A and B are shown apart, each in its own frame.
Chain A
Amino acid sequence: MIVGSQKPIDEIWDMVKEFKRVIVFGCNTCVAICHAGGSKEAETIASMLKMRSSNEGVDMDVSSTSVMRHCEPEYFDEVIDELRSYDLVLSTACGVGVNFLSERIGNIPVYPGINTSFFGAVPEAGVFEELCAGCGDCILHMTGGICPVARCSKTLMNGPCGGTNEGKCEIGKDVDCAWYLIVQRMKDLGTIEKLSEVIPPRSWSTSRDGGPRRVSVEHIREYEESAEQKTEAGGSK
């Protein structure tokens, strides 16, 4: 899931202080799970903003609401009119949500209430770990299921650098060396000889270097399109 973290209130205040009517808009999926931007945190930020505005003597009307997800348009339906009655939407969804809502809401600014950090797992309550970088060309079958793109500080593809030190990365004692983990894991799996295969230079066009990415699941799209045609044919639209 997508992991986010809250912004300091000073930073948020600088963003919102010019606006009279502000709504903090929470997303109840990924960022709720990581306790950054769900309905409860949206209410907390709203409450902080109310206190801040009254401290500053600024007359500001702040409220909060939330929906299940900000990344699919149907979820907005119930609240979009309400959102439009504000001067600013402070979204506590991930950046996807901020972009997505900005495109749909009309002439009302949507600002980010949190920082979108990465996508990761929850090894224990309250801890979130980045395990995948979403590079678009997965090679985990060659690296024992451990991703060198996300977890090697230098994104090395064919073994560790000289900075590997007793399982740790040279950038810091608390950072595991991804290649150390890969070697251990592949030994355990009995697949270590696979590592002698050289991973050819990668095409980064599937990653950030190829511009904004888009995945289209054609069989689902086809279904959607035919459903659209049907309703059009039935004249119910």
Chain B
Amino acid sequence: MAEDNTTALNEPYRPYGADIKETRPYSPCRAACPAHTDVQAYVGLIAQGKYTEAFEVITSVNPIASVCSMICHHPCEQACRRCGVDEPLAVRHLKRFAIERSQDYRRAKRKLTKKTRGKSIGVIGSGPSGLTAANDLASLGYDVTIYERHPVLGGMLASAIPPYRLPREMLNEDIDDVISKGINVKTGFEIGRDRKLEDLMKDHDGIVIAIGLSQSRSLNIPGVEGDGVLLAIPFLEDVAFDRKPDLGKKVLVIGGGNVAMDVARTARRMGVKDVSMVCLESAEEMPAWKWEIDEAIEEGVTIDNRWGPKAVKRENGKVQGLEVVKVNSVFDDKGRFNPSFDDKTTKIIEADTIIITIGQMSNMSFLKDGPVKLDERGLIQWDRDTHMSSASNVFVAGEVVTGPGSAIAAVASGHRAAMALHLYLQGEEIKGNLPEHEKDKIDQLPGKVVDLLDREQRQEIKHLPPEVRCDTFTHFEIGYDEAEALKEAGRCRGCGGGAVVDPNRCMACLTCLRVCPYGAPKVFAVSEIRPEYCQACGLCAPECPGQAISMVSYDVNEIRSSMPDIIGKRDPKRSDPVIAAFLCTHHTGVGGFNVPGNIRTIPVHCISRVDVLDVLSAFSNGADGVAVIRCADGSCKYKGVAKRVSSRIGRARELLSMLGIENERTEMLTASSTNGNRYSSVCTEFSEKIKELGLRSS
């Protein structure tokens, strides 16, 4: 795929309809993504085999796309409208597939950006928020330097998230994309220790503080001080930087969140067979994602729910275990975290090492008594609307100010901070001009529409078996192959990419209302196509007598304008007929599809798009025969297409016969989507028939 796109390397790719989409409610997947990645667009591109285009859509808003393809908690999937039908789209896995297919392309694309602004920016911290801010500001033409106290870039991604979930090669691809813009990097450089913030503010025109929450909280219980009790983040850092501590035979992890899961599963991979966890919450209340808990249990980690830590038991200083007390409840009636205990019920859980994973905080010591003010709780004072700290040219991004969240939320925060700083340096108003958090979105699928949709199983991703994966830090998920990815992408309903009516052309004729299989149009003074119903099939657009309907996600006139190029020059001495074959992009775009050269394939979103005029145009551009190839019943993702299109073909034949073009030259044929070869053989058989009929002379 890479070579096809080399010419486009310098122009950022924009999916069709990108501008219109901004003015309309978002698909729920996109609205749910903190960075508002256009999921509908890129999944649609994957379904058509356009992998590098999909990559462009993803990376246009997410500089750590590879990372997210591995570890994102994918709020897009939780919001997916397919949840109402069967299961959500496997968006994260599709993202991974598109990125894996674009590796050569992305490497070839890296290049320096010009430093046109004559201003320099210092970014403190290189986690998702710092990297994003640096990336955006470099793209805008600033001279950017990143300061990172660790020896490598990436923040928690590099120093805490274990490599069995996030392979470092993936992280490094993202980092290389960003750094290749010409960003200066100072690693092993801690602000406060190696240079004071006040001095850094003199070195640069603007500063972004993106230091995350890089310290673990500890417990204030007897026996906690001393060997054998570790804190989560330093422990994970030690593992990440190959300073693996000795854990003994039994490890107990305190905590029930995602970080606790990572700690427990990391301990398993360090050869500890007996890893248990203890947390205040019941199994249902645990804050960790359900899939993280399931995977930990698969790996042999045991969980003791509803116990609170009371004291670390030691003998001669060596840890023996943890005394715990029974929890009555974790939350009070108002739903606030306020645990109560049954002091009479206690027990001791044996352990050689205890790892405390109960939350994180920032190290703000370098800010004490400086120009960036802290509030009474010791947190940075900032304005959410402008990302500005109390010092006017110091901006803040990521978890240091937002509190714990996800990598992609930190990315979104990085975008906002970068834009804020840019506006500030331009002397422009910041408030109201930053990327929005909340976007209007399309409602869930109406029940009537759900009833019309086929159930299609989600393509599950394979995991290395637990016995194998616990012995190694290698990544345990096995990505999709092409067939799986195409099948999964084909499940997407294209929400928000459907029909829109131009009110200046609509004469309220009701045709669309009568044609639509999903009941999407409502006609008042003009037609209004309701996006929550519309499935973007495209059946209505060619039927509209006023040509008032267009599709957000694809160009309904593209076929006719590209026809001369596709059909090309017709050789008067040709021996094989020139055949124009309309095929669904969902089958022609992909690898392994081959037809003889005399068959000119015209990819269409669905043959529902093929109109009388398109057939006429194929003949007027010189085709000897026109085949419209439909996908067999059950494999087309839309309803009612075949019947409509065959009546259009009837009409086209009627008109063509007035011009002396025989009916046999226009045909609707059927192939099955599960068999790419069938598509090409259907085309070849048709070509043979036309050959017998003879070539057109005029």
Q: Which residues of A contact B (CB under 8 A)?
A: 8-10, 28-29, 32-33, 35, 38-41, 43-44, 47-48, 50-52, 54-55, 66, 68, 125
Contact = CB atoms under 8 A, between A and B. Distances in A.
B511 A125 contact: yes
B217 to A, nearest CB: 67
Interface of A is mostly: helix
Contact of A55 (B514, B544, B547, B660): B660
Given A44-B612, A47-B616, A125-B511, A10 B658 contact: yes
Contacts of A32: 507, 509, 545-546
B659 interface: yes
B659 A48 contact: yes
B505 A51 contact: no
Given A47-B620, A54-B620, A68-B507, A41 B545 contact: yes
Contacts of B514: 125
Contact of B505 (A39, A44, A48, A125): A39
Given A38-B507, A52-B659, 4 more contacts: A10-B658, A32-B546, A48-B658, A68-B504
Given A32-B545, A32-B546, A43 B613 contact: yes
Most buried by A among B509, B511, B655, B698: B509
A35 B655 CA distance: 14
Contact of B616 (A8, A28, A44): A44
A40 B659 contact: no
B619 interface: yes
17 contacts: A9-B655, A28-B505, A28-B545, A32-B507, A33-B545, A38-B507, A39-B505, A39-B545, A39-B546, A40-B545, A40-B613, A41-B545, A44-B612, A44-B616, A51-B619, A54-B620, A125-B511
Interface in B485-528: 504-505, 507, 509-511, 514
Interface string B238-279: 000000000000000000000000000000000000000000
A123 to B, nearest CB: 13
A217 B547 CA distance: 34
Interface residues of B, number: 22
B393 interface: no
B214 interface: no
Nearest to B655: A48
Interface in B611-653: 612-613, 616-617, 619-620
Contacts of A68: 504, 507
A41 B612 CA distance: 10
Interface string B602-614: 0000000000110
Contacts of A29: 507
Nearest to A35: B545
Nearest to A125: B514
Contacts of A55: 659-660, 698
A54 B616 contact: no
Nearest to A122: B510
Contacts of A39: 505, 545-547
